[in-house]
Amino acid sequence: MYREMNIGTAVPSPYQQKQTKHYFIGNLSIHDYYNASMFERECLELLEKLFEKEMIVFMAGGSGLYLDAVCRGIDDLPEVDHELREDLAAKYRSHGINWLRSKLKKLDPEHYRVVDLKNPNRILKAVEISLMTGKPYSSFLTGKKAERNFIVIKIGLNTDRKVLYEKINSRVDKMIEEGLLEEAKNLYPFRHLNALNTVGYKELFDYLDGKTTFDKAVELIKRNSRRYAKRQLTWLSKDEEIQWFHPDDLKSIIDLIRNRTGI
C-alpha cells in the first residue's frame, strides 16, 4: 500500500499490474494513518463496484488481520487521537517494548494474556484505545462475524518448510540486488514512522546506524522473514475455512472454485 516502499514490500511488477488490474497498490504514503477498519470499509466499497462486472474477485494476502477484516468483519473501534498516538510511539521508542507490555498489562490484563507480545503495533493499538476511552481494549472486541453479500472461498498455499525458507532467502537476495539498501537510505529520515517498523527496513536502519554490518543485516532480514512466515502460517492454520494446496496444484484450485461457484 505504501508508495515509498516498493522493493521492501515486493510490489507487483509493472508487467504483473498490466496483466491484471490491481487495487490498493501505492494508494498510501508512509505518513498516512491507516488501519484494518479503514481497509475493511474501502475494500467493501470497491467489491460492491467490482461485483457489478465480475463474477469472481481475488484477494491475495498474508496479513491475517486484514484478511479477517474483509471476510469476517472487524470490531468497530474508536479513532485514536493523533497526539496520543505520537506520544505513545515516542515513549515506546524511548523506553522499549517492555514498557509497552507493562502498560497494557495494567490497562487491560485480559487482552495482555492473548495479544502477540512480540508485536509492538498490536500492543500500541490496545494501549491507545484503552487510554483514550478509559475502557479496556478487550471490551470493544465482540468477535461477532459480519454478514457479507458474497461467497468467500479461502485458499491457502503452502509447501515444504525447507523449500519455503529457500524461497524466502532467494527473495531477500533479489530485493538487495534491486536496490533495497538505496530505498532504505531514502526512507531513513522517517524510520520512526509506524509503516517502517517492518522486516527488511529495521535491519538496514541498524546497519545505517552503525549497529551491525551489511552482511549481518541481510542475514537478519532472511531470519526475521522466515519467522514472520512461520507466524503467518500459525495464524492461518487456525482458520478452519481455509483449504490448503501446494502452490503448483493449479488444477485442484480451479476445480474448487468451479465447484463452489458453479462457474
Each residue's pLDDT tens digit, 169-194: 999 999 999 999 999 999 999 998 88
The share of the chain scoring above pLDDT 70, in percent, equals 100
The pLDDT value recorded for residue 63 is: 80
Q: In Å, how far from its chain's centre is CA 21?
A: 21
Do 183 and 8 contact (CB within 8 A), yes or no?
yes
The pLDDT value recorded for residue 177 is: 97
| Among 72, 35, 57, residue whose Cα is nearest residue 239 | 72
The pLDDT value recorded for residue 34 is: 83
User: 12-26, 141-155, 158-172, 195-209: lowest mean pLDDT where?
Assistant: 141-155
What mean pLDDT is predicted for residues 9-22?
A: 93
* Domain ranges for the chain: 82-140, 153-263
| Among 98, 116, 58, 110, residue whose Cα is nearest residue 232 | 116
**Measured distance CA(8)–CA(2) in Å, rounded:** 10
Q: How far is CA 225 from CA 61, 86, 165, 176, 194, in A?
A: 15, 27, 9, 14, 18
Beta bridge partner(s), residue 155: 243
What class is the 153-263 domain? mainly alpha
At 116 the three-state DSSP class reads: coil
At 74 the three-state DSSP class reads: coil
Q: How far apart are the first and last CA of the chain?
A: 31
The pLDDT value recorded for residue 194 is: 80
Domains 82-140 and 153-263 in one fold: no
The pLDDT value recorded for residue 193 is: 87
pTM for this prediction: 0.78
The pLDDT value recorded for residue 42 is: 96
CATH (one of 1.10.287.110, 1.10.645.10, 1.10.20.140, 3.40.50.300) for 82-140:
1.10.20.140
| Among 152, 160, 154, residue whose Cα is nearest residue 248 | 160
Range 143-180 burial, b when 16+ CB lie within 10 A, else e: eeeeeeeeeebeeeebeeeeebbeebbeebeebbeeeb
Contacts of residue 217, defined as CB under 8 A and 6 or more positions apart, other chains included, come to 203, 204, 206, 207
Q: Quick count: other Cβ atoms within 10 Å of Cβ 216?
A: 13
pLDDT at 100 over 90: yes
- Of 235 and 8, the structure prediction assigns the larger pLDDT to 8
The pLDDT value recorded for residue 1 is: 93
